[in-house]
Amino acid sequence: MRKTISVLIFLLILSMPGYADPVDDALAVLNKWSLAFAAADVDGIVKLYSPDALFLGTGSPSVVTQTEGIQEYFERALLNDRPRTARLKSYSALALSDSVVVFSGLDTITGTRNGKQMISNGRVTIVVAKREGEWKIVQFHRSRLPG
């Protein structure tokens, strides 16, 4: 009987509207990031980062630690070579807690320069954390895939 009640309580908790998987919530931020990237929406992409985020983009010469630096990076990166896309091809996710998720994976970024498509395959590590009720990117690193 206790086992049946425990199972029923567990199922009730899972069906509650407030229950969400942290990986799914964090992944939604990465999906918004990809859409903002493709739309060259600099403000939209920057809003996905926490004010204290650590950022190391593919073309970053050093770790960026301020929102203004992230803004400048994406103004240079997104407003050229359009249309652009960014797609996470494969990844692994690790929920460190109900409010912190780490993603490591491979991505492909495309752009168009002088009518020719450019493709950059890369490695990414992204940490997404829930801050003041919102999921934000708190750490981002991308580098080109060797070879």
CATH number of the domain encompassing residue 59: 3.10.450.50
What is the H or E stretch that residue 44 is in?
helix 42-46
What is the arithmetic mean of pLDDT over 39-66? 96
Per-residue pLDDT at 97 exceeds 60: yes
Residue 2 falls inside a structural domain? no
Q: Structurally, how many domains does the chain consist of?
A: 1
Does any domain span residue 106? yes
In a domain, 8, yes or no: no
Q: What is the pLDDT of residues 55-92, one digit of tens each?
A: 999 999 999 999 999 999 999 988 888 888 999 999 99
| Tens-digit pLDDT profile for residues 1-10 | 554 444 434 4
Please give the residue range of the domain that contains residue 90.
Answer: 21-144
pLDDT at 132: 92
pLDDT at 13: 43
Q: How far from chain centre, in Å, is Cα 134?
A: 13
Both structure tokens of 112: 């168009």
Helix count (H) and strand count (E) of the chain?
4, 5
CA distance 54 to 147: 27
Can you read off the two tokens belonging to residue 93?
């996710």
Q: Residue 135 is inside which H or E element, if any?
A: strand 134-144
